[in-house]
Amino acid sequence: MAAKEADQEFVEYVVKALVTNPDAVQVARSVDDMGVLLELTVDPADMGKVIGKAGATAKSIRTLLRVLGAKSDARVNLKIVEPEGSEHAGTEVTVDEPAAEEAAPAEPDLKEQTKKEIEELADLEL
């Protein structure tokens, strides 16, 4: 096997530090015209630790991979393959951009809250 790339080593290092069974962590790397694809496989018991609450851990790893890929002008994507024996065996979990309907509701609330806070600050007499 050829020397591991920095992105693959990074994912292995971070995920092995998170999981209970680091020996089961496998990262397969493939490159095509779309960029680099890293397929992560972990022990079924460790899936929750890798994905995190509401996918936060997986999104964080993906964000860091994006930064790492930017250094070498490569697009790096992470696919978390759900292992056999888990509740959703045979399905794959892809960590990608949040769906438009997921991201959209939070933005107006934040914008409105910020506008209200700015208006309140403007009303203060200092």
The arithmetic mean of pLDDT across residues 21-47, rounded, is 91
The arithmetic mean of pLDDT across residues 20-44, rounded, is 91
Q: What is the mean pLDDT of the chain?
A: 78
pLDDT in tens, 59-107: 999 999 999 888 888 899 999 997 665 555 444 444 444 444 444 444 5
Residue 110 CA neighbour count, 13 Å, CB half: 5
Q: Strand 35-41 and strand 26-32: pairing? A: antiparallel
For the chain, give every domain's residue range. Answer: 6-97
Question: Among the CATH numbers 1.10.3720.10, 3.50.50.60, 3.60.15.10, 3.30.300.20, which is that of 6-97?
Answer: 3.30.300.20
Q: What is the pTM of this model?
A: 0.63
The token pair at 79 is 């696919």
The predicted pLDDT at position 112 comes to 76
Nearest alpha carbon to residue 44 among 87, 78, 13, 8? 87
